[in-house]
Structure 1
Amino acid sequence: MRTTIAVVFGGQSSEHGVSCLTAREVLAVIDRDRYDVVPVGITTDGRWVEETAVWDDLEPGVLPKVRDDMPPFSWDRIRDLDVVFPLLHGPWGEDGTVQGMLELSGVRYVGAGVLASAVGMDKPFTKTVFSAAGLPQLPYVTIQPWEWDAKRDRVRARVHALGLPVFVKPARAGSSSGVTPVHHWEDFDVAVETARTFDPKVIVESAANGKREVECAVIQDEHGMPIASEVGEIVVAAEADHEYYDFEAKYLDGTSTNVVPADLPESVRQRIREYALQAFDAIGCEGLARVDFFLTDSVGGGLVINEINTMPGFTPFSMFPKLWAASGVDYPELVERLIQLALQRPLGLR
């Protein structure tokens, strides 16, 4: 019998459109001679539908969307699937929720399991795990919902100890959604409220001095051993109106460039690879991840870890596949490797 693969995309997070772009590209390279492929979209209100991932009328700078008028996906089909490729970014998909559903259904899937997905999505918990693993990080403060509502002066005092500037972020979001750089304390409360429109829990991080943003990708080999890719750097055009690598620079206005390999000494690139593998192991990740770093003027010998993405952007122009292309694994082979890893992975506790 032929292997049946469901590619799941869309979802209820702010990264819905990015997930759709990723799915369109992955679906284009899956070998239809080997696999029966079932595209499954999740609408912005959480309904699962039989989506085609074909959008012919997109204007420049407009992200696709799962259509509301598609036929519903029958849940009776879930156990007939051999593997699910959950190309979901952000909460309600990348955070262990869908992974838990698949575990309960006895269905294999690509990528991190429940715990690693949840830890990787929740930035404060990620930082706690990374700290225990000895990885260098920037100072930060977590703001719980009750604390902001009842102890706001105490929150401000803790955050002021970080010094300016700081970055205020939703604790469980990606693609720079809801992120605000703060250079003056009078702007802090507004930045927190902006982040809270995405997530009631907020994280505030010290800004890196003279930072360069560098990234490394990780996949497992056929024996389950994590291997690290070449190192790349994100460069935002100097003339662009972006203070940092925000959502528009990433996906909409073409002002950012992925430079692979990064122009760094080999000793630094090797340290980044080692930290990426250490981060992958620290959260118990599986399948794939992209690990992001800052190169700074002062902290941690110039290198600090920023975050780990357990389901990174996967268009051919995204950093994750570009890093692997530079490491000798092209886009179709990368997709095939991840499918095979999922098919080989045992069900149940691992």
Structure 2
Amino acid sequence: MRLGFSKAEEDFRAECADWLNAQMAGEFSDIKGITTLTEKAERRKEWEQQLAAHKWSCIGWPEKWGGRGASLAEQVIFAEEYARAGVPGRVNHIGIELAGPTILTFGTDEQKQQFLPDIAAGSTIFCQGFSEPNAGSDLASVRTKAQLENGKWVVNGQKIWTSLAHISDWIFVIARSEEGTKGPRGLTFLMMPIDQPGIEIRGIQQINGDAEFNETFFTDATCPEDSLIGAPGEGWKIAMGLLAFERGVSTLGQQMGFRNELDAIIAAAKANGSANDPLIRQRIAKAEIGLQLMRYGALRMLSNSDHSKVDGAALTYKIQWASWRRSLGELGMDVLGQAAEVTDNPAYEWGMLPNLFLFSRSDTIYGGTNQIQRNMIAERALGMPREPRGDT
């Protein structure tokens, strides 16, 4: 496992940092430090295009498709410097980190030509249609149906918690295309344009006042027959491949965001005197140790070159960071004390640390609840018997 970077890689880090910091101090200074995904959405679409214009949008992709063919170390460095510079989260992270790599791996040449250039250019925004009201972390229980009729897939059903669907152009959807199937069998992975009469999007206001998530309804919504990735019935395989990309190099950038949050808590503790409390100091030290352990664990996970085996470290990462960050949000509130419970903003808007606390309540739920993560660790990493399920 490599714990450091070469001189050439550190030179690349300086290049990344110089460009990102110049952007945040110049033309795009108005978006620096934004912590929610919906604030200034149109301006952040312009930022996506700025990244693309300078070949920073998807640096790990092949140059043919708008990337730089960057090494794993370079991708890690860019993700870290992106967060360190205070740049807001990518509004097209679903396209760059999930849809794009899935198309690169499983898509046809025609699909690559259709989608990849526009994703890389920041002109096509993707969202993900997996979770349903009765199938959140349990993807195998989806009920949304897809039927092939007259050369088109016709989709009916509902998805929920669809991040940024209201500003997206396309959605990839897991739907049940074989009548009578259960569990992972009979699922198909479809790419669908959102701007059509058969798709309705309703926003969901979150506890922190943001509205990143949506309900998405499909009523005879359509897409061409060749819009599926893989073959009919291979949706589970494609989805599992896609979710593997979710644990990629962005994890190190995510941790740099955590670094910023922990630093804000430390600064607040010093400012209001709560740093003098030995229990607060102990909790800060524990958070620091946890963050360092996550970094080393992520580097070890990314250094694993044998992808033929189940990586137990990769399976533990989601539950590790989600539980850690939930505790971090609680620490932030305890450091601020009563000041965390009031805001000077006229609307329901909060500062960084109250927002951290409110949003982090969902970290152990979305993307696979802690319970689901424990099942995966037990069954796939440790080889323990499967939990009884209704589809068996």
TM range (shorter): under 0.3
The structure having more radius of gyration, on CA atoms, is 2
TM-score by length of 1: 0.24
TM-score by length of 2: 0.22
Relative contact order, higher structure (CA 8 A, sep 6+): 1
